[in-house]
Amino acid sequence: MSIFRVRSGPRTRCSRGFFSTFALAGFLFSAATAPTTAQQFDTESFTLANGLQVAVLPNHRTAAVTVMVWYKAGAADDPRGKSGIAHFLEHLMFKGTKSVPPGGFAAQIARNGGRDNAFTAEDYTAFYETVARDRLDMVLKLEADRMTGLVIDDDVLLPERKVILEERRMRIDNAPSALLTEQLTASLFLNASYHNPTIGWESEMHSLRTEDALAFYRRWYAPNNAVLVVAGDVTAAELRPMAERYFGPVPAREIPARLRLEEPPHHAALRMEMKSARAAQPSWRRYYLAPSHFSGDTQQAYPLEVLAEILGGGESSRLYRTLVLKQRLATSAGADYAPGALGPASFAVYAGARPGVAIADLEAAIDAELHGIVENGVTDEEVRRAESRMQSATIYARDSLSGPANIVGAALALGRTIDDVTQWPERIGKVTAAEIQAAARAVLVERNSATGILLPEHTS
């Protein structure tokens, strides 16, 4: 089970897959003239006069850098009736400016031996490149150019709209597990801003227009609504003149308040069953409404993280040991909780049935495990082992350029503080068995759940 996770969704520019980024703890930058430092990730930070937040994560083990530009706007900021516009704009950001022709951004990165891509999530959108250290200047120039200089017209937009519609067919409509997940999420969030899928509903995607993309771009894409993260063979002293040169002239813009709709009380559990000839085996999943670090009873976030580790954190977890190893009802089992959301979050439990096992038997065994935690709690030893695994995982987060850059960038985009980063291991270590049981009793409530069953459909 990874640490510092955020809610995941369809991502990446060309073949948007489903993958978890690190859920994060972050930091809040001030406009102080001297950079602050986060020792956990050796982070130096400063803010430009136009409001652009900049984080530098020096790592001199290789002569390369990863550059990330995060915008504080995502799918949850899509206007009503325009679902998918944040993701669509992510694609269009590669279509050129007055100085860079369509496709020229990626081509220039590739010619210089680099890699680039992007992803859209509910609460932010990020663009990233990894290049040799001596190509950093080039990348910063390109990113600053498209921050407010994007050129979009119907000739550019209409062919790309076909691309995102095909992407939806490939990633969602033709993938029964993804389609069920989409339906479950929409059922769980009746009114909250996470009701709509990141990629958008197909009926609304067909109607996305040039003026819709430009309106979203002009509303949210500005230096004072962005975070620049550079990780690798560079220091803040080296980066600052380059950031000033390329991003400094980009004017700030008035940014509207971000709206996150509240979820009304739920009075009935939701349940759905889906059959598909594409499903290889039966599977079961359940989502519970849960607080996040920003919404609901936020004090439950850390206990729920530890609970997810105890329930579903690998082969030593309760669900895996019980369902896979002991009772042999499942081929896989786990739990997931991502507290990094500006609105409400979800706590998930899932399992894949072993051939010949009835879904009802699998569900009964899972319910017994959940009921046992609600009624009897977890042991102090389970808490100790889970916390130790989670704290140890923070060490491995530093081993790459992209890992820390993701952690820091998402943290800033979400508005976390530096203390949340540096104190995460300590806060996790202070969670008690009693706090976990209290959080389980508050969250694992039937009326606040949505259960989905995926079954193979055999055709003659």
What is the side-by-side order of every strand in the sheet holding 449-456? 270-276, 449-456, 283-290, 345-353, 330-337
**Distance from C-alpha of 353 to C-alpha of 361, rounded to nearest angstrom:** 9
CA-CA distance, 51 to 13, in Å (whole number)?
27
Q: Active site residue: 44, 90, 167, 435, which one?
A: 90
- The answer to whether 244 and 48 have CB atoms below 8 angstroms apart is yes
SS (H, E, C) the chain: CCCCCECCCEECCCCCEECCCCCCCCCCCCCCCCCEEEHHHCEEEEECCCCCEEEEEECCCCCEEEEEEEECCCHHHCCCCCCCHHHHHHHHCCCCECCCCCCHHHHHHHHCCCEEEEEECCCCEEEEEEEEHHHHHHHHHHHHHHHHCECCCHHHHHHHHHHHHHHHHHHHHCCHHHHHHHHHHHHHCCCCCCCCCCCCCHHHHCCCCHHHHHHHHHHHCCHHHEEEEEEECCCHHHHHHHHHHHCCCCCCCCCCCCCCCCCCCCCCCEEEEEEECCCCCCEEEEEEEECCCCCCCHHHHHHHHHHHHHHHCCCCCHHHHHHHHHCCCEEEEEEEECCECCCCEEEEEEEEECCCCCHHHHHHHHHHHHHHHHHHCCCHHHHHHHHHHHHHHHHHCCCCCHHHHHHHHHHHHHCCCHHHHHCHHHHHHCCCHHHHHHHHHHHCCHHHEEEEEEEECCCC
Check if the beta carbon of residue 35 is closer than 8 Å to that of residue 236.
yes
Q: Give dist(CA 225, CA 70) in Å, integer.
A: 9
Question: Does residue 340 contact residue 293 with C-beta atoms inside 8 Å?
Answer: yes
Note if 238 is an active site residue: no
State how far the Cα of 340 lies from the Cα of 260, in Å rounded to an integer. Answer: 14
Residue with tokens 């550019």: 156
Active-site residue list: 90
